[in-house]
Structure 1
Amino acid sequence: MKLAYFYSAFTFLLLASCTREKEPSDLEKFTGRWSLYIVEEQVDSAANWEPRQDHYKNRKGFIIYDGQGGMGVHHVTENYDQYVFEGKGGLDSLTAKDLRHMADNFVYFGKYSVDDSLKIIEHHIESANFQTMWGTTASRKYAFSGDTLILSPITERYPKGRLKWIRLKDNE
């Protein structure tokens, strides 16, 4: 009786392990394109997360993880794409207003690494529109909630921020 029970339990575990889909690693979960949904802030530990109301209000943009360690992020202010440049020639014709507008464009590229146990992703910045960022590392706490990726810059100070990204369904 005991031997039959043992074989029955063993067979069940063997079949369950063979048919169960492998849960993707966090590194695999990042792979793909994401669209910026909202930028939020928390003013202190007791406060709720609220949408930012400053120059980060209603930002839009994208982040991409290629699944092989390469990434890029680009986001801009609300209505960035609707701005009409005053300068009509090349870079030499840009006005001070044009240049201020372009300063609201945030972009960097580089490699990334993921620490599943600490839930931290590091963006190793190789190129950025702000040269002071070149060669630096941007560390972010992360969480997945369905098709939403939440990235939070690591800081002990308040206010704290987080960016929520929605997975783009490119292959559907």
Structure 2
Amino acid sequence: MLLSVDELTSFWVGFFLLIIVMLTKLEKTMKKTGTLFLLTLILVTIFASCTKDDSGPVDMNYIEGKWNFNKSTATSGAFTIPYSTDYFKNEDGCNKDYIELNAGGNAKYGNYTTACAFEEKTGTWTQSGNTITIAVSGTSFNGTFNVASLSATDLLLKIDGTYSGQSGTFNLYFKK
């Protein structure tokens, strides 16, 4: 059974606290520099092992289906912030906007506008490796996206570019 990122983080925090208690007891017999060196080594090991790698291969078998828009973020440098535009957010009190990727390369984009008025546009999509290209006329949901993460229930699409004069990554999160 694989552990989630939260479970792994909790494990490592508990492990780290145990090491601190042990080091505190050993501190009476060890020199302060030895303790600091060991503590630094443990911290580096913990944080290096918890890094998530989004650049690896993604199982694209789950890509087809209806994906409900969940949220968007923008990442620049070490900062990730919530980000929304008129087209990349759900209207309060309405069903969620979605993108539906069907067999044969057909795509549907469902958008709930003000007062929950529904509009659906159709287009196409293609896949090459971990990249999908979506073309839906009459919407801003067009382009080439890196599929950074994909499971039976979650999809993360990333677009690298320049936003408001800053280079970064635009992240779109979807749920089935």
Extract unaligned runs of 5+ from structure 1. Answer: 1-23, 84-104, 168-172
Partner deviation per Cα, 1:104-139 (whole Å, 9 max, x = no partner): x886431111111xx2110134x3257xx9xxx611
- Give the structure with the larger helix fraction: 2
Q: Which residue of 2 aligns with 1:41?
A: 74
State whether structure 2 residue 155 is matched by structure 1 residue 143. Answer: no
Q: TM-score, normalised by structure 2?
A: 0.50
Look up the SS of the partner of 1:81 in the other structure: helix
Please give the root-mean-square deviation of Cα atoms over the aligned residues, in Å.
3.2
Aligned counterpart, 2:115: 81
1:61 equivalent to 2:97? Answer yes
Aligned partner of 2:12 in structure 1 is none
Map of 1:1-172 to 2, 5 A cutoff? Answer: 26=60, 28-42=61-75, 44-48=76-80, 50-52=81-83, 55=86, 56=88, 58=90, 60-76=96-112, 80-81=114-115, 108-116=121-129, 119-125=130-136, 127-129=137-139, 138-146=143-151, 147-155=153-161, 158=166, 159-167=168-176
Task: Answer yes or no: is the 8 Å Cα contact 2:63–2:150 preserved in 1.
Answer: no
TM-score (norm 1): 0.51
- Give 2:15's aligned residue: none
> 1:107·1:128 contact (CA, 8 Å) conserved in 2?
no
Are the structure 2 counterparts of residues 46 and 139 from structure 1 closer, same or farther at C-alpha, using a change threshold of 3 Å?
same
CA distance in 1, matches of 2:175, 2:73: 14
Amino acid at match of 1:38: K
Find the aligned partners of 1:25 and 1:46 in 2 and give their Cα distance: 27
Higher RCO structure (Cα 8 Å, ≥6 apart): 1
Tell me the matched-pair count. 110
Identity among equivalent positions (%) equals: 15
CA positional deviation for 1:66: 0.9
Q: Aligned to 1:128, what secondary structure does the other structure show? A: coil
